[in-house]
Amino acid sequence: MLRVLVNGADGRMGSQVVKAVYEDKDLEFVGGVSITNIGADAGELAGIGHLGIPIRGDLGKVLDDIKPDVVVDFTAPRAIFENARTVISHGTNMVVGTTGLTAEQRDVLAKLSAEHKTSIFIAPNFSIGAVLMMKVATEIAPFLPDVEIIELHHNNKLDAPSGTAIMTANKIAAARKAAGAQPAPDKTHESLEGARGTKVDDITIHSVRLPGYVAHQEVLFGGYGEYLTIRHDSVDRKSFMPGVILAVKKVTSRPGLTFGLENYL
Q: Which residues pair with 153 in a beta bridge?
A: 209, 215
Cα-based torsion angle of the residue sequence 46, 47, 53, 58 in order, rounded to the nearest 10 degrees: 20
Query: What is 128-234's CATH topology?
Result: Dihydrodipicolinate Reductase; domain 2 (3.30.360)
Query: pLDDT digits over 146-173, tens only?
Result: 999 999 999 999 899 999 999 999 999 9
Confidence of residue 212 (pLDDT cuts 50, 70, 90): very high
The class that CATH gives domain 2-122+238-264 is alpha beta
Residue of 90, 153, 206, 216 marked active site: 153
pLDDT, averaged across the chain: 96
Res. 195 pLDDT band, cuts 50 70 90 = very high
The reply to whether 2-122+238-264 and 128-234 are identical in fold is no
% the chain with pLDDT above 70? 100
Backbone phi, psi, residue 143, to 5°? -95, -30
pLDDT reported for residue 189: 83
> Does the CA dihedral 192-198-199-204 come out positive or negative?
negative
Confidence of residue 105 (pLDDT cuts 50, 70, 90): very high
Catalytic residue among 157, 171, 216, 232: 157
Q: What is the pLDDT of residue 100?
A: 87
More confident residue, 31 or 265: 31
User: Does position 265 have pLDDT exceeding 90, yes or no?
Assistant: no
pLDDT of residue 124 exceeding 90: no
Alpha carbon distance 46, 241 (integer Å): 14
Look at the chain and count its residues.
265
- Find the angle CA(24)-CA(27)-CA(28) to the nearest 5 degrees: 110
Q: Is the dihedral of CA 250, 254, 257, 261 positive or negative?
A: negative
Is 199 annotated in the active site? no
Q: What is the percent of the chain with per-residue pLDDT over 90, rounded to a whole number?
A: 94
Domain map (residue ranges) of the chain: 2-122+238-264, 128-234
User: Is 177 designated active site?
Assistant: no
99 pLDDT band, cuts 50/70/90, is confident
CA–CA separation, 265 and 90 (whole Å): 28
Residue 229, by phi and psi: left (phi above 0), alpha (psi -120 to 50) or beta? beta
